[in-house]
Amino acid sequence: MNQNLYGRLAAGFPADRSRPCFRLPDGGLVSYGDLEAGAGRIARLLLAKGVMPDDRVAVQAPKSVAAVMLYLAVLKIGAIFLPLNTAYTEAELDYFIEDAEPRLVIRDADALAAEAAGLEPVVEVTARAPDDLASIIYTSGTTGRSKGAMLTHAALLDNGRALTALWGFTERDVLLHALPIFHVHGLFVALHCVFLSGASMVWLAKFDEAQVLAGLDQATVVMGVPTFYTRLLASLEFTPAKTAGVRLFISGSAPLLTSTFAEFEARTGQRILERYGMSEAVIITSNPLDGERLAGSVGYPLPGVELRIEGGETGVIQIRGPSVFKGYWRNPAKTAEDFTADGWFITGDVGRQDADGRVWISGRAKDLIISGGYNVYPKEIEMLLDELDGVVESAVIGLPHPDFGEAVVAVIIGQGDEAAVIAKARESLAAFKTPKRVIWVDELPRNAMGKVQKNLLRQAYAGTFQ
Ligand code: AMP
């Protein structure tokens, strides 16, 4: 049987193809029939341009309906979809093109759709085996060069199906989609839940506060990164009435502060459902739809996902399961490095699993601080600092220090007295964990998914003790 992901997604489209898939801010609708036909026409154009099965099609294009049609068209003809962050510069793009050797590089999906307008849609779906590649996702590459994670048709289908069931998606759902589509969150997690259940989306080009607030009136589910929720909470217009029709708020791609979770519940009466994932395995764990969602925990491993902690109680999370990627594109050395001899993927995230099976993440292994020979997990200190008066959010990093090797430093959004913060922290923390310095800032550097870029902080303040 043909295992092409396109066919499986299309099997989830509503039988009545006139039903809407995209709900646009101007009130316009794009039906599933239009999506299917558009993808079919673009597929025809790609074939005419010589794209063959297993060819890479690189796409660095603004978010649009046509870009989604293009994604589906690439799948349909058995080629490999390679999305690229719209923020990448020409020089950065050169690296990806050299590494992936795409048959085509597309910068404007709307122009492509216009070029395909008069063509006969491709109906046939190219046969694919479960293990064939559907997509290559380049990791954000905060250490060294970005690597291409190879994701198969079966991996993406399995994860999409698991999430659709876990989060209870149905044809009646309306997802508020304000995420970028060059990343697994907005591309696979969000779109596949919608397609597999035949739901529809409020389709926003980006997180625009006014558009999001207006979109909430139609939405039943919201998927966001933590900064979406902090921005909403900062708005006086974000009231309980605004969220009355929304049955589920989901957060991921970066840690959700417990203060955001609590403030959100106090404001709306709803608990954000936090889940954990990464480019190499899409979604790995999730809090439950029914059952308790706990602040600070990313929930339970998805059905079929095996999870273990390297070493003691807290350590690097390793996983095995149907959605784990096949390896890094043309990089067997790095692939071998990131898998154990018995086939577990080493996520690079540090965490623990409690007796109940819930997973708690304390940060990236590369952000672990070793001060005077002791391991310091930044998350433990950040949680404590975030509770202090005057602290909006903190990022704890290790900086080179002549005595300690690395010294603990807190970079904090907010205003206050350095000595007072240090004294307060010392009341609950061992001396080696207590920040040696506090640096007050207005903003923390974040990537497109809202993740704090600690590597940039380490660079910026590298000379603090030298
Ligand atoms: P990416 O491959 O760009 O999606 O980044 C994946 C990384 O994001 C993971 O390895 C985690 O470090 C982080 N991440 C994703 N979701 C969460 C979460 N809910 N809590 C903490 N970290 C997260």
Q: Domain extents for the chain?
A: 5-360, 368-460
Does the Cβ of 277 fall within 6 Å of ligand 1?
yes
Choosing from 140, 256, 349 the residue with most ligand 1 atoms within 8 A of its CB, the one to mutate for a pocket test is 349
CB 76 within 8 A of CB 68: no
Q: How much distance in Å is there from the Cα of 284 to the middle of ligand 1?
A: 10
pLDDT of the residue at 428 = 92
pLDDT one-digit tens code per residue, 11-69: 999 999 999 999 999 999 999 999 999 999 999 999 999 999 999 999 999 999 999 99
> Closest residue (by CA) to atom 20 of ligand 1?
255
Tell the residue nearest (CA) to atom 15 of ligand 1.
253
What's the rounded mean pLDDT across residues 434-447? 96
CA of 36 to the centre of ligand 1 (A): 32
Q: Is the CB of 139 under 6 A from ligand 1?
A: yes
Share of the chain above pLDDT 90, in %: 91
pLDDT tens digit sequence for 80-93? 999 999 988 898 89
Grade residue 140 by pLDDT with cuts at 50, 70 and 90: confident
Return the residue whose CA atom lies nearest to atom 1 of ligand 1.
Answer: 278
Task: Give the Cα separation of 438 and 384 in Å (integer).
Answer: 14
- pLDDT the model gives residue 141: 62
**For the chain, what percent of residues have pLDDT higher than 70?**
99
Q: What is the mean pLDDT of residues 220-229?
A: 96
CATH architecture of 5-360: 3-Layer(aba) Sandwich (3.40)
Tokens representing residue 125 in the block: 């779906």
Burial of 234 (0-12, 13-18, 19+ CB in 10 A): exposed
Instruction: Please tell me the predicted confidence (pLDDT) of residue 144.
Output: 65
The Cα-based distances of 31 to 64, 65, 112, 116, 244 in angstroms read 14, 11, 19, 18, 26
Alpha-carbon gap, residue 358 to 340, rounded angstroms: 23
Dist. CA 319 → ligand 1 center (Å): 14
CB distance 255 to ligand 1 below 6 Å: yes
Query: Which of 189, 451, 452 most suits a substitution to test ligand 1, by most atoms within 8 Å of the C-beta?
Result: 451
| Highest mean pLDDT, choosing among 100-109, 253-262, 426-435 | 100-109
Query: How confident is the model over 298-316, as a mean pLDDT?
Result: 95
> If pLDDT is split at 50, 70 and 90, which confidence band does 254 have?
very high
| Domains 5-360 and 368-460 fall in the same CATH topology | no
**pLDDT at 392 exceeding the cut of 90:** yes
pLDDT in tens, 187-218: 999 999 999 999 999 999 999 999 999 999 99
Distance (Å, whole) CA 464 – CA 461: 6
Mean of the pLDDT values across residues 323-327? 98
> What local confidence, expressed as pLDDT, does residue 50 receive?
98
With a CB cutoff of 8 Å and minimum separation 6, the contacts of 229 are: 249, 251, 256, 260, 264, 272
Residue 223 predicted with pLDDT over 70: yes
User: Is the pLDDT score of 309 beyond 70?
Assistant: yes
d(CA 321, CA 378): 29
Residue 241's pLDDT band (cuts 50, 70, 90)? very high
Report how far ligand 1's centroid is from the alpha carbon of 278 (Å).
5
Indicate which residue's Cα is closest to atom 9 of ligand 1: 278
Q: How far is the CA of 163 from the centre of ligand 1 (A)?
A: 17
* 180 within ligand 1 shell (Cβ under 6 A): no
The protein residue with its alpha carbon nearest to ligand 1, atom 5, reads 278
Residue 285 near ligand 1, beta carbon < 6 Å:
no
- Atom 4 (ligand 1) nearest CA: 278
Is the CATH number of domain 368-460 1.10.3720.10? no
Question: Does 397 score more than 90 pLDDT?
Answer: yes
Cα-to-centroid distance, 413 and ligand 1 (Å): 21
**Is a pLDDT exceeding 70 seen at residue 143?**
no
